[in-house]
Amino acid sequence: MPLDALHIKYATQELDSLLSGGRIDKITVPKKDLIRFAIFSNGKTHGLCFSLNPSSPFIRLTHKLRESLDSVPPFVSYLRKYILNATIKSISSLDNERIVKLRILSTNELKQQIVLILIFEFTGRHTNCFLVNEKYIISDCYKHMPLDSNSSRNLLNGLPYVPPPSSDKVNPFNTKELELLLKQPSSKDLFDMLKEHTFGISTQTIHEILFLAFGNSVPTCPLSKKNIDILQNTIKEFIDTKNYSPCVHLDKLNAPLDFYFTKFKSVSSILKSTATLLDAMEEFYSSKESIAETTELSKRLQQTLKQAENKLNKKMAILVSRKQDALKLDEDKVLGELIISNIYKIKKGDTELIVDNFYTTPPSITTIKLDSTLYPKQIAEKYFKTYKKKKRTLELIEPQITELSEELDLIASSNTQLALAKDLTALKALESDFIELKLLKPSKKSVKKEVPKSKKEKALVGITRVEFMGYSILTGKNNIQNDALVRHSKPNDLWLHPKEIRGSHTVIINPKKVLPPFNIIKKAASINALYSKAKLSENVPIDYTFIKFVSRVKGAALGKVIYTNQKTIFVSPEKLSDIGND
Burial 500-534 (b: 16+ CB within 10 A, else e): ebbbbbbbbbbeeeeebeeebbebbbbbbbbbbbb
Please state, in angstroms and as integers, the Cα–Cα distance from residue 479 to each residue in 410, 418, 436, following that order.
9, 11, 10
Looking at residue 450, its pLDDT comes to 44
Looking at residue 579, its pLDDT comes to 62
Residue 242: other Cβ atoms inside 10 A: 7
pLDDT, one tens digit per residue, over 230-253 is 999 999 999 888 889 999 999 988
Check: CB of residue 277 under 8 Å from CB of residue 246: yes
Cis peptide before 163 (omega within 30 of 0): no
Looking at residue 435, its pLDDT comes to 81
What are the sequence ranges of the domains in the chain? Answer: 5-141, 322-448, 455-578
Q: What's the CA gap between 91 and 101, in Å, rounded? A: 6
Residue 78: other Cβ atoms inside 10 A: 16
Looking at residue 130, its pLDDT comes to 95
pLDDT averages per 10-residue partition of the chain, 582 residues: 84 95 94 93 93 91 82 93 95 92 93 94 90 94 78 84 85 90 84 90 92 89 89 91 90 90 89 94 91 90 91 93 89 88 85 86 87 87 90 90 85 83 82 78 54 53 84 88 89 93 91 89 93 88 95 82 94 74 42
pTM of the predicted protein model: 0.71
Q: What CATH homologous superfamily does 5-141 map to?
A: ibrinogen binding protein from staphylococcus aureus domain (2.30.310.10)
Please state the length of the chain.
Answer: 582
Beta strand extents in 203-269 (DSSP E only):
247-250, 256-260
Percent of the chain with pLDDT strictly greater than 90? 47
Looking at residue 513, its pLDDT comes to 81
Cis peptide before 2 (omega within 30 of 0): no
Give the angle subtended at the CA of 205 by the CAs of 224 and 287, to the nearest 5°. 170
